[in-house]
Amino acid sequence: LSFNCLMPVSYTHLFKFFQELPHRVLQGIFGIISYVILSNLIPGVSDAILTPTTVVIIALAYLLCFLMQASIGLLAFWIIEISGVLNMGEVIRAVFSGILVPIVFLPDYLANIAYITPYPYIIYFPVISLQGLADTNLQMWVMSMQIMWITFFYILYKVLWHFGIRQFSG
For 16-26, the pLDDT digits (tens) are 667 777 877 78
Cα separation of 118 and 105, whole Å? 18
Within 8 A by CB and 6+ apart from 131, the residues are: 46, 48, 49
Q: In which residue ranges of the chain is pLDDT below 50?
A: none
CB of 36 within 8 A of CB of 101? no
Cα separation of 31 and 62, whole Å? 14
Tell me the HSE value of 99 on the side-chain side, using a 13 A CA sphere: 11
- Torsion angle defined by CA atoms of residues 98, 104, 109 and 115, in that order, rounded to the nearest 10 degrees: 60
What pLDDT sits at residue 13? Answer: 63
What pLDDT sits at residue 9? Answer: 56
Tell me the HSE value of 131 on the side-chain side, using a 13 A CA sphere: 13
Compute the Cα dihedral for 139, 118, 44, 31 and give only its sign: positive
Compute the Cα dihedral for 63, 93, 80, 153 and give only its sign: positive
